[in-house]
Amino acid sequence: MITTILWDFDGTLLNTNDVILESWQHTYEHYYGRRMPVEHITKCFGEPLLVTMAREFPDVPPKDSAEVYREFQKDIAYVWAKAIPGVFELVERLKGEGYKQCIVTSRTKESTLRYLDLFKKGYLFDDMVTCDDTDKHKPGPEPILLALKKIGCEKDEAIMVGDGVFDIKCANNAGVKSVLVGWRITGSGSEVIKDAVHDFEAETPEDLLKIIKSIK
């Protein structure tokens, strides 16, 4: 039986897609003077930012390019970030029914808390694991294993909910069931990760609730 929901953040709990896309386009324009195809950007959604920065801007220290990205994102986040219809309502229902809920994200703790504060939803979650908590990130198993340890949960009692291959492969590697959400815009990520296999797919938050309740 599932007792714990592990949530990816961007694109799963909150629609930050436009924020992230425009922040990447700003960074490409800053360094290369041009924008990139959306598909090039979305395939890397969920990858730790510094990893992507090192690959996309190999002549720039990753922390420098990440700073360009993050400073721009701060300026637009409050306007462009949007709630995903029905998702926070589902989280609130699950909380009321006694499920433990933990965010597992490649985002920094500061930015995750900033978004949660913006939407006043931080109270819904029991804990979180961010890129600040471990040196090993998705798609490796460490973020999920740390989340399970922090929240006090066995692998067979948890399910990872995400919108991309990094989330699903992280769950695969950790030995945890996974759900791929249907409101994603992420690409296949086939160039950077292979063989991610989700256990379930939920087109809507209502579908996700049924999946969670169905697992015995």
180-210 residue pLDDT tens: 999 887 655 544 566 899 999 999 999 999 9
Tokens 């003077």 belong to which residue? 33
Beta strands in 66-138 (DSSP E): 82-83, 100-104, 127-129
Nearest to 196 by CA among 172, 161, 180: 172
Residue 174: give its domain's CATH number: 3.40.50.1000
Q: What is the pLDDT of residue 195?
A: 85
For the chain, the domain total comes to 2
Q: What is the pLDDT of residue 46?
A: 79
Number of Cα atoms under 13 Å in the Cβ half of residue 171:
28
Q: In terms of domains, do 101 and 179 share one?
A: yes
Q: What per-residue string of b and e applies to 175-190 under the rule 16 or more CB within 10 Å gives b?
A: ebbbbbbebbbbbebe
Residue 56: give its domain's CATH number: 1.10.150
Q: In terms of domains, do 193 and 86 share one?
A: yes
Stretch 101-112: mean pLDDT, rounded? 95
Instruction: Please tell me which residue in 8, 10, 163, 167 is annotated as part of the active site.
Output: 8
Q: In terms of domains, do 60 and 94 share one?
A: no
CB of 33 within 8 A of CB of 154? no
In terms of residue numbers, what domain contains 210?
4-15+82-214
Q: In terms of domains, do 75 and 122 share one?
A: no
Domain end position, chosen among 41, 65, 80: 80
Q: What is the pLDDT of residue 110?
A: 93
Average pLDDT over the chain, rounded to an integer: 93
* pTM as predicted: 0.88
pLDDT band (50, 70, 90) for residue 178? very high
Q: What is the pLDDT of residue 192?
A: 53
Q: Which residues lie below 8 Å from residue 71, measured CB to CB, with a gap of 6+? A: none
Four-point Cα dihedral 150, 154, 159, 162, nearest 10: 40
pLDDT band (50, 70, 90) for residue 216? confident
User: What is the Cα–Cα distance from 67 to 65, expressed in whole angstroms?
Assistant: 5
Q: In terms of domains, do 31 and 71 share one?
A: yes
Judge whether 8 counts as a catalytic residue. yes
Q: What is the pLDDT of residues 109-159, one digit of tens each?
A: 999 999 999 999 999 999 999 999 999 999 999 999 999 999 999 999 999
